[in-house]
Structure formats: C-alpha cells, structure tokens
Amino acid sequence: MDILRELNDEELQYIMENLESKLPDTLMELNYILTVKRNKDLVKNIEHVSESFLPTFYTHRKGKKENCTFFAITGANDHRVWIFSYEESLREVKECLEQTSLIRWKDKIFFDVVNKKIASRIIEHINQNKFNLKLSVEGSFYYLEKEKVNQFDLNIPDGTYLKKLTENDAKYCASTWEWSSDTTENFVKTIILLDCAYGICDKSTDEILSFGIINHFSAISMLYTVEHARGKHYGELIAKYLAVKIVENFDLAPNCCITGSNIASEKLFDKLGYVHICDVSRIIV
C-alpha cells in the first residue's frame, strides 16, 4: 500500500477553504486547485490533452488533516509533481518523497513551482538518491489586487490587432519559451483550446508581435515579444489584457511566476502594481 492516498472531494474542499483563509500567501496553491477543477470537464473534449491539466491529488496516508499536505501528480507522458504542506518540519513531505511509488524517478519529472523550503527538501532527496538533477531555477511569485485591472488602458495600437491564438500558433509559441521541452507544444495547444492564449499581430503581415498565456494555475506566463517589436509596450498590453481576463472570466487575482534572471518581466509587473508573495523554485529531474 502506497504512502500516498487519493484525496476525496471533501478533503480537497477542506484544503481549499484553508488556503482561502490565508490569502494572499497561499494564492498560488489555491489557484492551482481551482484551475484544475474549473477545467476538469472542459479538457474531456480536447483530443490529446496535455497531462499537465489531468493531475490526481494525493495526501500522506497517515498525515494530519491540519497540515493540508498534498501532492498533485500527472501521468507519465508529462510527469509533473506539485507539492504543498503547512507542516513546519515537512516530515510528511519527506516521508512521501522517500516511500511513494507514484513519483517515477526514472522518468523525466518536472516539479512545478514549489516554495523554496519544499524545493530544498526535494533537492535533498534527489542528491541522497543520486538522481540526475537536470535543472533547478529560483524565481518569485507575484499577484495583483483584482480591482486594479480597472485602471488598465487596453487600447490597441494603430497597425495591430488583438488575436485569440489558434492551434496553428502552438509550435511557434512553444519554440520561444526558455524552458521548452518535447511536451510544451501540446501544453500550449491545450491552453489555446481553453481560450487562454492571446497575441498582438501586425495588420499588414499577420505576424504575432507579442503573446502570452494563462497557464495551468491561472497565472500569466510565456510572455514574449519578437525582437524587432520590443520597446513598443506590446508585452505590457498583453499582460494587462490577460490580467483582465483572469479577473473577468475566473474571478481570480491576476498573478505570475517569474523564474531565472528575467529583469524585463520583473520591471513590467512591478510597473503594473504586482506585489511579491513568495520565492519559488522549478526543478527538473
């Protein structure tokens, strides 16, 4: 019997209510669960859906309810693991990492954005077992109060138009992402089919000048502007537009995770009024 057992709906609801009571500190984890639940029925109609949208939620079989420890684990084709716990010692997390067979350590694993303390525990386990740590990138998570989007100017610049991205755009979008892998294109296709990807295009050539997505935890992500169009505030417009969509469509606070040394993004979201919540890490094994 595995140390991890699947959470039932009542237990997951308890965790959500607990996370909600501690906002904004727990916004990232709450948004992740809410996004999975929101898309649960929608993704059933998507052929070859990205497994990033199909996690199963687990908890420590003998864990304490108040610790709200959970592991969200996806399938082998895009093996992602999301971990959270209130437990100060992270004993439950440590025991689950050591004993579960549900994390396929011999496969490629993407530990999605986790807080730095949990990331340290994951890396400790990787090193102790001599697994191959392919990537560990630190970053920060930010959010914006919902009412602040009312101040955003969404006027489209002359010579351009706003476009909802299509499946045909997925390959290009995936190619621009710094962390792109063999599963990224399918991930972007799923985002597009969920109406969560938009771009600013040149009216004369239809070239995508700047684009961004709302990802699998309802955060603004993959924001990119082609080199010859930089300095024209297209990325800022997309960031504003996506923030408005997050509020209007999902009733969530706009948020983003900035990893690595991305000074341009840090300056942009600071300019828009975003506030730092916590430091995070992304880990690939």
Looking at residue 15, its pLDDT comes to: 98
Smallest Cα–Cα separation from 102: which of 87, 127, 81? Answer: 81
pLDDT digit string (tens) for 201-218?
999 999 999 999 999 999
Of 83, 108, 138, the position where a domain reaches its end is 138
Q: Work out the end-to-end distance of the chain between its first and last CA atoms, rounded to an integer number of angstroms.
A: 25
* The CA-based dihedral angle spanning residues 194, 195, 199, 201, taken in that order and rounded to the nearest 10 degrees: 120
8 A C-beta contact, residue 63 and residue 69 = yes
Per-residue pLDDT tens over the stretch 98-157: 999 999 998 889 998 899 999 999 999 999 999 999 989 999 999 999 999 999 999 999
Sheet holding 220-225, edge to edge: 4-6, 56-60, 70-73, 80-84, 110-115, 275-284, 135-143, 255-259, 220-225, 208-214, 197-202, 160-164
pTM for the model: 0.94
**At 13, is the pLDDT very low, low, confident or very high (cuts 50, 70, 90)?**
very high
23-52 pLDDT, tens digit per residue, is: 999 999 999 999 999 998 888 889 889 999
Please state, in angstroms and rounded to a whole number, the distance separating the CA atoms of residues 60 and 39: 25
Q: Identify whether 283 is part of a domain.
A: no
Domains of the chain: total = 2
pLDDT at 44: 86
Mean pLDDT, the chain, rounded, equals: 95
Give the separation between CA 21 and CA 30, rounded to whole angstroms.
10
Whether residues 273 and 158 share a domain: the answer is: yes
Instruction: Tell me, yes or no, whether 122 and 161 share the same domain.
Output: no
Domain boundary among 113, 138, 163: 138
C-alpha 284, offset from chain centre = 15
Owner of token pair 């687990």: 58
Q: Residue 232 sits in which domain range?
A: 146-278
Going from the C-alpha of 92 to that of each of 69, 73, 147, the distances in angstroms are 7, 16, 38
Whether residues 157 and 114 share a domain: the answer is no
244 located within any domain: yes
